[in-house]
Chain A
Amino acid sequence: RKEVEQDPGPFNVPEGATVAFNCTYSNSASQSFFWYRQDCRKEPKLLMSVYSSGNEDGRFTAQLNRASQYISLLIRDSKLSDSATYLCVVIPTNQAGTALIFGKGTTLSVSS
């Protein structure tokens, strides 16, 4: 079983749609969680951290359910510029410098 599993995608949605991505992780001791965004042929960039209390950044909302080992990302009012691959990322310990563990990524394509 992969440590981090994501919806396979791709997701093809029209502008203005709401889309949700899901992710599960296998290591119950995992401490930190993130969503990264990766544009085609570019490096991954941090989109947002994910907390148990949930967090929102504009049109983006991230949620963590530790009991179910489940992470989600909701994008409201999708824009053409949201088209990218979204990577679910986990850090398995609370030690600074621990390497990131990435999911396979989910591709989003927003069309006009």
Chain B
Amino acid sequence: EAEVAQSPRYKITEKSQAVAFWCDPISGHATLYWYRQILGQGPELLVQFQDESVVDDSQLPKDRFSAERLKGVDSTLKIQPAELGDSAMYLCASSSPGLVGGYTFGSGTRLTVV
């Protein structure tokens, strides 16, 4: 079964440091999403890409977060500088073209900021 690959699985970083997460969606999935899930909450959308273009980044804290998907395939989410409140699970998902609801999530990156 095709998977969405994410790395690293776990990351511990000190506040004010930079951190980056990587996601490789299922081949052929044009739409890619980054979600953040704080403990005890549901996932919340940070940014959505269609191919290499940003479709929605209205909830992305742009003063410290950036995301790119340069060739329309894999994607990187960066935080600089990290803050204690950024501790969360960062989930990447991709969806089948032309299909409503066909989403697959990666295993996520659990970030702890100390």
Task: List chain A positions with a Cβ less than 8 A from chain B.
Answer: 4, 31-32, 34, 41-46, 49, 87, 91, 94-105
Contacts of B98 in A (CB 8 A): 96
B residues sitting closer than 8 Å to A (CB atoms) are 30-31, 33, 40-45, 48, 50, 55-56, 89, 91, 93, 95-101, 103, 105-108, 110
Per a CB cutoff under 8 Å, which of A43, A45, A46, A91 touches B100?
A: A91
Q: Which one of A31, A43, A46, A98 has the highest number of Cβ atoms from chain B below 10 Å of its Cβ?
A: A43
Q: Which 7 A-B pairs have the closest CB atoms?
A: A102-B42, A43-B105, A97-B31, A99-B45, A96-B98, A104-B42, A102-B43
Q: A46-B103, A87-B42, A104-B41 are in contact. Are A96 and B97 (CB under 8 A)?
A: yes
Asked if residues B100 and A44 are in contact (CB atoms below 8 Å), the reply is no
CA A4 – CA B30 in complex, angstroms? Answer: 26
